[in-house]
Structure 1
Amino acid sequence: MRRTLQAAAESFPIAGAFTISRGAKTTAEVVTCTISTSGMIGRGECVPYARYGESVPGVLSAIEDMRGMIEDGIGREDLARQMPAGAARNALDCALWDLEAKLSGIPTWQVISRDAPQKLVTAYTLSLGEPEAMQRQAAEHAWRPLLKVKVGTQDDAARIRAVRAGAPQSAIILDANEGWTPDNLAHHFALCAEARIALVEQPLPAGNDAALRDHARPIPVCADESVHRTQDIAKLADRYDAINIKLDKAGGLTEALALREAAREHGLRIMVGCMVGTSLGMAPAVLLAQGADFVDLDGPLLLARDREPGLHYKGSDVYPPEAALWG
């Protein structure tokens, strides 16, 4: 039976502001896609990211370009051949997964795993700011077992020490968002070791990270902007210890699952992350993150308003999605 495709832009307010080294924002701008047939509706959400040349109008246009193929019944594997990885394909791919689950009555988790999904401990993200403000943020959330901290300036020494002082017992991930340089790498790595940092994410710019190959890494280093597709893994395995898989980068759950397996084959640790979006965007990532070494799926916790129904969070625990939400 023929399908119907719809896509729309939505805006969700962030609680306060979310700041990284590239700037701050107060709303999460998402694109929601629905694919319907036989009385069933599949949904997917994506977050267009300017760092990758994406915008809300551009993503809506890319989805519209696929209307004929989607409504004629294209599958997920063919979709991956017809569209580049990115946010637009993610929304379509996840909507197709959701639709398949509803039509078949088989939950997505049963298709991708032998084991029922369990609750996960997610990181909670602290925005970039002045050291004193970041220490206050860390102290406020020191009860959480895992914090992710945005850094990425020319000298983050005071910030690293301030966050560790504020949350002395929490495991900490530092996300430099490509903000460090080969010249200050040793300085920052030494500070990370001193502060017992668990993981450093994307310290150098994508495409300019070769220095990591021959550089002593006293703490594990994770690729984010440097890795999008399975083909990226082989060339990164000699300079990173882990990869951050995000559905919006990979272009959906289908490619993300393949990316996860490729990373494991190369001995890399797995982190599953997210953009700042709603529970609809996080839901498939919760299934992807089962068994991951690090989980960063706190997007809805950063919002002033989430979807209803949304994912269930209890403290830093995030529970698998109910069928009413996705999958």
Structure 2
Amino acid sequence: MATQRIRELTLDLRVERFPYHQPFRISGHVFTETALLVAEISDGMHVGRGEGAGVYYLGDDIDHMVAEAERVRAAIEGGATREALQQLLPPGGARNALDCAFWDLEAKQAGRPAWALAGLDAPKPLRSTMTLGADRPEVMAKAALAFDPATPVKVKLTGDVEEDIARVAAIRAARPDAWIGVDANQGYTIETLPELLPVLVAHGVAVLEQPLRRGREADLDGLVRPLPFAADESAVTLGDTAALVGRFDVVNIKLDKCGGLTEGLAIAHEARRLGLEVMVGNMMGSSLSMAPSYLVGQLCDIVDLDGPIFLARDREPGVVYHGGMIDCPEAIWGGA
């Protein structure tokens, strides 16, 4: 029998910038746009796409992502596989873009959607939070009222205890029946956190995300958690997951942090094995970022895939938000 010739791969990389409707504020940062690395891997017949937004607090900006992806161009065009990519590049936005491009290409080559290749059930629409950037309490309360009544609300805090308490109180008053989670983005210390916690409990907040700085996880040892704590900046890769037990209750998986869908799925399964709940988040990418994250979301307790709502423009086709839910057509990414 003749040996089938393996098609050579070509890699195309480009930078695309997506401005926001308005500045987005979190603890210690204000963002006005997302710069994305778009990777396309072609075998001459099929093209797989992926994008990476990087990890701002790790110095993983657009220049770093481009340099990292270029560093492995020869290996990819020389026949490196998605599995090999996990050792060729460290976690980060570049590996995310390339890993997701490989998944998309493999789906097209196999004639099977990416969810099937990943061993998942056919994806269903998911309830997704919508995020309120940190602002004056009255502004955030007004913005919360503009969401669909069924939409869960995620609230960005800044570490200013009095202002944060006022933010939570105003939003709860505006949305008395809403699911509310708060994200401190490393803004608190073990000394200031105790003042915030009883207020969160009193206002029925469902989860507190990343209260302390990355690297200060041991400060949580012995702390009684009166509501679930979620690890974001403290949970970058699969290797970080085991150390969360006893300090956090939820792990927030972001494909830009862990370096793609391959490791994102591995983290979800490992977190379940360790008794942790699972959340999927995003680094403010376009719908091309949300699509592979949507597959991880099928395994999650909390879904936070609202990045495109902040963009002045998105891709076509894009994800659909309706009635507090996100739906992701296969035409965006990962279809056969």
| Same-fold call, TM cutoff 0.5 | yes
Contact 1:119-1:318 at 8 Å conserved across structures: yes
Asked if residue 26 in structure 1 is aligned to residue 28 in structure 2, the reply is no
* Code of the aligned partner of 1:61: A
Structure 2 segments unaligned to the other structure (5+ residues): 1-6
* Code of the aligned partner of 1:102: K
In the alignment of these two chains, the number of paired residues is: 327
Asked if residue 263 in structure 1 is aligned to residue 271 in structure 2, the reply is yes
TM-score between both structures, scaled by the size of structure 2: 0.94
Give runs of aligned pairs for residues 193-232 of structure 1, distance below 5 A.
193-232=201-240
Q: Distance between the aligned counterparts of 1:187 and 1:309, measured in 2? A: 45
Match of 2:197 in 1: 189
Which SS does the other structure have where 2:40 is aligned? Answer: strand
- 1:268-313 Cα shifts (integer Å, max 9, x gaps): 0000000111000110000111031100001112212100111222
Give runs of aligned pairs for residues 235-314 of structure 1, distance below 5 A.
235-314=243-322
Contact 1:271-1:292 at 8 Å conserved across structures: yes
**TM-aligned CA deviation for residue 154 of structure 1:** 2.8
Contact 1:43-1:99 at 8 Å conserved across structures: yes
Asked if residue 116 in structure 1 is aligned to residue 125 in structure 2, the reply is no
**TM-aligned CA deviation for residue 114 of structure 1:** 4.3
Contact 1:44-1:95 at 8 Å conserved across structures: yes
Match of 2:4 in 1: none
Range with bigger deviation, 210-219 or 273-282: 210-219
Q: Distance between the aligned counterparts of 1:114 and 1:163, measured in 2? A: 36
Name the Cα RMSD after superposition: 1.3
Contact 2:55-2:92 at 8 Å conserved across structures: no
Match of 1:51 in 2: 57
Match of 1:13 in 2: 19
**TM-aligned CA deviation for residue 162 of structure 1:** 1.3
Give runs of aligned pairs for residues 114-153 of structure 1, distance below 5 A.
114-141=120-147, 143-153=149-159
Distance change (3 Å), C-alpha of 1:233 and 1:164? same
**TM-aligned CA deviation for residue 316 of structure 1:** 2.2
Which SS does the other structure have where 1:321 is aligned? Answer: coil
Over the matched positions of the two proteins, sequence identity in percent amounts to 43
Q: Distance between the aligned counterparts of 1:323 and 1:106, measured in 2? A: 13
**TM-aligned CA deviation for residue 324 of structure 1:** 4.7
Q: Distance between the aligned counterparts of 1:181 and 1:160, measured in 2? A: 19
- 1:148-179 Cα shifts (integer Å, max 9, x gaps): 11003231211111111121111011000000
Structure 1 segments unaligned to the other structure (5+ residues): none
- 1:86-125 Cα shifts (integer Å, max 9, x gaps): 1110000000000000111011111223421100011000
Q: Distance between the aligned counterparts of 2:330 and 2:91, measured in 1? A: 27
Match of 1:2 in 2: 8
Q: Distance between the aligned counterparts of 1:73 and 1:166, measured in 2? A: 55
Match of 1:322 in 2: 330
* Code of the aligned partner of 1:44: G
